[in-house]
Structure formats: structure tokens, C-alpha cells
Amino acid sequence: MRKNIVAGNWKMNTTLPEGLALAKDLDAALKGKTVNCDVVIGTPFTHLATVAAAIDTAKIGVAAENCADQEKGAYTGEVSAAMVASTGAKYVILGHSERRAYYHETAEILKTKVNLALANGLTPIFCIGEVLEEREAGKHFEVVEEQIKKSLFDLSVADFGKLVLAYEPVWAIGTGKTASSDQAQEIHAYIRKVIAGKYGQEVADNCSILYGGSCNASNAKELFSKPDVDGGLIGGASLGVDKFLPIIEAF
């Protein structure tokens, strides 16, 4: 069956010493504790190797927040999936709405990134979600369906089975405005149905679908209680152990 996962996305926050201290604090807080979900932290590229070497990666998976859409070569400033994998990171967040909006990452580019991530043994945490106008126009179902189809539906059954999805309504990211647990459940169930239509019910049932968007210690339990919400992708509240740990413990 699918895993419950709580994954942090630090975004462009923390210097290396600050990030290392945060990762070590989380590692210490989880030591000797039994938790009922997998825990992942998404850190800036500069932190990956240092963080991965400093924590128990059997307990906390490390994620990059992006990777290049090229394998290697003359792409100044880019970081390849192979480079990410060589740091000890096991995951990569792809398709985050900030990357789609600010760095013009198209469905086609994301498809390439997903393929490269998988080819290098990384687990993509693939983000989808609608903007406010799309939600208000009742188009959220078709928006997420298109995002999934265009970037992921050329994958083999085996490769699709390696993905984690994160439904993140853009209007809820960093806004303090959360989707209600019923809204989350409704669209997560729809996403699972779309997956089942292409890859079959077993693959759909085994796919972890995380919710992201102002998830915090106060709303995590309610969101995670829904049958198709398999955890969270957490931005702001992943930047302090005092805020992140209660979300992990919501399972």
C-alpha cells in the first residue's frame, strides 16, 4: 500500500550553517521516536551533501527542490539529476508552482526533468495545482488532469509507480489560506481516478498524493484524516522543528 509522507520544502531559505542546524535539530528530535510516516526535507542544492552526511538518511530523506532538464554539459549554473543523486539525496521536487510561474517551466520541460530524475534513481515529488481564477471558474479538475497527462502519462507503469504526487493549489501556497479537508479529498480522489484510468487501480492505490498549501500543526491532522490525502508538502512550517514535528506527528 501507499506510504504516508511529510516532506518539507525549504525553498530559498537558510544559509548552509542555518540549514545544517535545522536538519540536525530535526534528526535529534526524531531520534528514538517512532513516526507513522516517511519524512523528507527539501533543501537548496548547496546544502544537500552536507545535510545528507549529517543526518540519519534512513529516517529523513533528502530532496532537491529542482534539477536540470539536461543530462550534462555546457549549461552554466544548472545542477543535473546525476549531481543531485551523488549528494545522497533520494528525492527531487519537480513542477512546483513557483518554478512553473517564475522560471517558465512547461509541461514538456517537466516531463524531461521527471525522466532524468527517474533515470538517476531519484524519486520525483511532482507538484500540480490550479491558480485561484481556475478554482473559481471550476476548472481545477481539468487543470490538474492536464498537468498530470502532459508531463507524466508517457511513463511506463513501473516508472509511474516510483512517483510521489503533491497537489498544491497555488492560492493556498504561502497565503495562510488552506484548502478545506473536503476540497483536498475531492481533488485527491479525482487525481487517483485519473491515474487509475491510465495505469489501473493498483497503481493508483499505491501512489502517495500529498497535499501542500499552508499546511501546519493546526490543520494537518484534519487534512491527513482524509482517505486520499497521504501526507503533506510543507513550505513555511518546515523551517522550524517546533512547527514541522507536530505535522509529522499528525499521523
Binding-site ranges for ligand PEP (CB under 6 A): 9, 168, 173-174, 212-215, 233-237
Report in angstroms how near the CB of residue 9 gets to ligand PEP at its nearest. 4
Q: Is 188 a catalytic residue?
A: no
CB of 14 to ligand PEP, least distance (A): 14
Q: Identify which of residues 37 and 234 has a Cβ nearer to ligand PEP in the complex.
A: 234
Close Cβ partners of 94 (under 8 Å, ≥ 6 residues apart): 66, 67, 110, 113, 114, 117, 124, 125, 126, 127
Query: Closest distance between ligand PEP and the C-beta of residue 233, in Å?
Result: 5
How remote is the C-alpha of 132 from its chain's centroid? 20
Cα angle: 212, vertex 152, 37; to 5 degrees: 40
177 vs 53, 125, 127, 137, 220, CA distance in Å?
36, 22, 18, 18, 13
Pairing status of strand 164-167 against strand 91-94: unpaired
What 3-state DSSP class applies to 219? coil
> Is 232 strand, coil or helix?
strand
b (16+ CB within 10 A) / e for 1-29: eeebbbbbbbbeebeeeebbebbebbbee
| CB closer to ligand PEP, 30 vs 231 | 231
Q: Which of 182, 184, 181 is nearest to 169 (CA)?
A: 184
- Is the Cβ of residue 65 or residue 199 nearer to ligand PEP in the bound state? 65
Cβ proximity to ligand PEP, 188 vs 199, nearer residue: 188
Nearest residue (beta carbon) to ligand PEP? 235
Nearer to ligand PEP, 135 or 199 (CB): 135
Quote the least distance from Cβ 88 to ligand PEP, whole Å: 22
Shortest distance, position 237 Cβ to ligand PEP, whole Å:
6
Catalytic residue among 47, 96, 140, 188: 96
Question: 108 an active-site residue?
Answer: no
**Catalytic, out of 65, 98, 130, 168:** 168
What residues are annotated to the active site? Answer: 96, 168
